[in-house]
Amino acid sequence: MPTIKEVADMAGVSVGTVSHVITGSVPVSESLRTKVQAAIRELDYHPNHVARSLKTSKTRILGIIVPDMTISFFPQIIHGAEMAARERGYSVIAANSSESADRQRELLSLFRSQQVEGILVVVAAAPTPLGQMTRLIEAGVPVVCLDRVPEKIPVDSVSVDDVAAAELGAMHLIGQGYRRIAIVTGPLALKNERRRLQGYEQSLKRAGIKLDPALVWQGNLRPDDLAAMCGERLRDAAARPDALLCTNGPTALGALRAMRACSLETPDDIGFVTFDELTVDELFSPHITTIIQPAYEIGSQAANILLDRIENGASEIRTIRLPATLKIRDSSRRV
Amino acid sequence: MPTIKEVADMAGVSVGTVSHVITGSVPVSESLRTKVQAAIRELDYHPNHVARSLKTSKTRILGIIVPDMTISFFPQIIHGAEMAARERGYSVIAANSSESADRQRELLSLFRSQQVEGILVVVAAAPTPLGQMTRLIEAGVPVVCLDRVPEKIPVDSVSVDDVAAAELGAMHLIGQGYRRIAIVTGPLALKNERRRLQGYEQSLKRAGIKLDPALVWQGNLRPDDLAAMCGERLRDAAARPDALLCTNGPTALGALRAMRACSLETPDDIGFVTFDELTVDELFSPHITTIIQPAYEIGSQAANILLDRIENGASEIRTIRLPATLKIRDSSRRV
DNA sequence: CTGTTAGCGCCTTCAA
DNA sequence: TTGAAGGCGCTAACAG
């Protein structure tokens, strides 16, 4: 790999001059500039970002940590963040915590070592030790939380308005005439899940439907476990709910498997609404009514907030709540 | 951010000693080591990888370029590469070329500037100017091509055995009694597509079926265009093929849309087999017979080959062809 | 075992 | 407008 010095030698100028033409920070005469550019092309020179970063202590790199790349929601977030970052001259490096607090800790540490200028993080669901995040923020590393907003930490965040989003789904089911609506949630240790539950409760209340605690089905994030749980509770036709509201993709997969095992068809045997698109294409059936979170938007807005903080320094905490939208499809369309 | 010097001061030792305990390359006495570790913890010190890389000219970072992150095939490749890399102490940074040769060029350049130690690349389908790749390799940057193997460039590659994979699908359709089998391909400028076509042709020949050029449907990689093309050709019931073999995900989506528009049902009206899983879950219908490429394996093997080259220097060109597997589902099961 | 020191490649004052 | 030189944080000799 050629260095700036070799370019300077070939062009017959000093390294300073080469640097000036590369950064454009200082004017350089036309004649020297063309000579330098010719040398750069001739040598196939690529400025060493590592050295530049060491000197300027700016890497123009953002880190993003998500719990799972195989669910389409997270890659979409990453994509949004990448686009917003690129727009402003930054790159992003993405990594998976696999919902593991340990791995998250490692990654955070790795990112700091790699001198990322800011970090976007969807915290792992596992009991997250918030200590490290707090230290990170106190150390002055710009951080924005996405999707899952940790409580008790003063940090910028971008997520969907979970209460309103859940209401969207619940009200729709109620409007379709369903009355015994069960909600299938992930761990209620996650604030998002609690807020979605809250939206569900509010909707029932508003519609004058009495809340039945037996219809609040709390699970984890493993479709297999959820399928087992739902299967058990759907088996008894008498006690069976007439509709299901799932608060995320994994719970939806589990519930759908259980419904299939019990030969329950939507929307007649049972109504069905879930958060998060399970697949992007409309070709597949059953066509599922879905509460869609603006994943790309979440990523891009978060990146922009992070970049604002990086470029303009501290400011008050920003908390963005984006609206979800309801895509009504067959699985809940009874009237 | 604290530096190694501050750690040294706090621990009352020299920076050399701190460096030794961090890298573990030189033995350090128990007593000093504990002091240093205490200081590291106290200061929440994270070694600056940028400085380290400048010094050692080793970043332990691999770059990977894929044409599209929203197709599940590529994220799986990335995941495989990440895992293999992590296993050997490397990180990977992933980026999208969006099938654009320009963007690919930019990314290659960016990666070189970022001093990645090697590059995994799925070349963009757009007429790829191979010049840059060639220069890259000649400049001594280790490169491994995945999935799409450029011709005429001596480079390590990992991909599926396309001829055999296509045969797998074609022979299966023939075995099910289909005779007028159309093949829906992406641009035949891509070698993979040509080889898949070749597998199809060989299978027909072996089965004694005359090749009908009107049943070779070449398209691009945009589902909308493909849907239009297929729609036109499926409309005429007399000339209609009795089965479709799609050579990739986007063509499959297009073809499926057209089939739906023409109200054709699998497997009775028409048999259907495609490369690449369109969705991960078995819940959706139609259940499509799929030629599955071992995406994770492709990524991990490619990363390992790249790392071998990085760590052991030059060797002969390696060309890995992995076998695909056929997952038989409803869309082709007629007997 | 421990300390000292010379750069890695680049940007950025500062002088000329 | 151009050139010379210091130093970013770290590692790897080397000397002690």
Contact predicate A170/A209, CB 8 Å: no
Q: Is B24 exposed, middle or buried (0-12, 13-18, 19+ CB in 10 A)?
A: exposed
Query: What integer is the mean pLDDT of A34-42?
Result: 93
What is the spatial distance between Cα B21 and Cα B104, in angstroms, rounded to a whole number?
Answer: 41
CA nearest to A131 within chain B: B44
Smallest CA–CA distance, residue A285 to chain B, in Å, is: 5
**Residue B271: strand, helix, or coil:** strand
Percent of chain A predicted with pLDDT > 90: 71
Average pLDDT, chain A: 91
What is the spatial distance between Cα B169 and Cα B245, in angstroms, rounded to a whole number?
Answer: 7
What is the spatial distance between Cα A111 and Cα A115, in angstroms, rounded to a whole number?
Answer: 6
B162-293+326-332 belongs to which CATH class? alpha beta
Query: Which residues of chain B are under the pLDDT cut of 50?
Result: none
User: Would you tell me how many other CB atoms lie within 10 Å of the CB of residue A118?
Assistant: 24
- Reported confidence tier of residue A282, pLDDT bands at 50, 70, 90: low
Contact predicate A149/A159, CB 8 Å: yes
Q: What pLDDT does A260 receive?
A: 86
> Two tokens at A3?
């260095």
Question: Which one has a higher pLDDT value, A96 or B317?
Answer: B317
CB contact under 8 Å between A69 and B75, yes or no, is yes
What is the spatial distance between Cα B73 and Cα B221, in angstroms, rounded to a whole number?
Answer: 14
Nearest-5° Cα angle at B25, B21 to B29: 45
Contact predicate B18/B11, CB 8 Å: yes
Contact predicate A260/A276, CB 8 Å: no
Q: Which nucleotide shows the minimum CA-to-C1' distance to residue A19?
A: C11
> Two tokens at A219?
């699970």
Task: Give the bridge partners for B290, in sequence order.
Answer: B274, B327
Contact predicate A292/A192, CB 8 Å: no
Selection from B26, B29, B20 nearest residue B47 by Cα: B20
Strands B156-160 and A271-275 turn out to be unpaired
Q: Is the pLDDT of residue A179 over 80?
A: yes
Q: What pLDDT does B277 receive?
A: 81
CB contact under 8 Å between B50 and A59, yes or no, is yes
Q: Separation of CA B27 and C1' D16 in angstroms?
A: 17
Element (H, E) at A243: strand A243-246
Question: Which one has a higher pLDDT value, A28 or A245?
Answer: A245
What is the spatial distance between Cα A108 and Cα B168, in angstroms, rounded to a whole number?
Answer: 45
**Residues A4-36, buried b or exposed e (16+ Cβ, 10 A)?**
beebbbbbebeeebbbbbbeeeeebeeebbebb
**pLDDT tens digits for range B253-288:** 899 989 988 999 989 999 999 998 876 555 565 688
Continuous H helices in chain A? 4-11, 15-23, 30-43, 49-56, 73-87, 101-113, 130-138, 162-175, 191-206, 223-235, 249-261, 295-312
Contact predicate B328/B105, CB 8 Å: no
Query: What integer is the mean pLDDT of A214-228?
Result: 93
Domain A57-160+294-322, what fold?
Answer: Rossmann fold (3.40.50)
Nearest-5° Cα angle at A142, B69 to A132: 95
Q: What is the DSSP string of A81-120?
A: HHHHHHHTT-EEEEEE-TT-HHHHHHHHHHHHHTT-SEEE
Residue B110 touches partner A, C-beta closer than 8 Å: yes
Smallest CA–CA distance, residue A209 to chain B, in Å, is: 32
**pLDDT tens digits for range A145-175:** 999 988 888 999 999 999 999 999 999 999 9
Q: What pLDDT does B73 receive?
A: 86
**pLDDT tens digits for range A291-310:** 999 999 999 999 999 999 99
Q: What pLDDT does A298 receive?
A: 98
Q: Is the pLDDT of residue A335 over 80?
A: no
What is the spatial distance between Cα B246 and Cα B254, in angstroms, rounded to a whole number?
Answer: 10
Q: Is the pLDDT of residue A69 over 60?
A: yes
Contact predicate B144/B306, CB 8 Å: yes
Q: What pLDDT does B332 receive?
A: 94
SS3 of A251-272: HHHHHHHHHHHCCCCCCCCCEE
**Is the distance between the Cβ of B113 and the closest atom of strand C smaller than 7 Å?**
no
Nearest-5° Cα angle at A234, A229 to A240: 130
DSSP E strand boundaries for B193-287: 216-218, 243-246, 271-275
Smallest CA–CA distance, residue B208 to chain A, in Å, is: 35
Helix B295-312 × helix B73-87 angle, to 10°: 40
Every domain range in chain A assigned CATH 3.40.50.2300: 57-160+294-322, 162-293+326-332
Residues 32-51 of B with CB under 7 A from strand C: 32-33, 51
Contact residues on chain A for B109, CB-CB shorter than 8 A: 46
Nearest-5° Cα angle at A256, A295 to A209: 85
What is the spatial distance between Cα A16 and Cα A99, in angstroms, rounded to a whole number?
Answer: 48
B131 to each of A46, A127, B127, B150, B212, how far by Cα in Å? 16, 51, 12, 12, 38
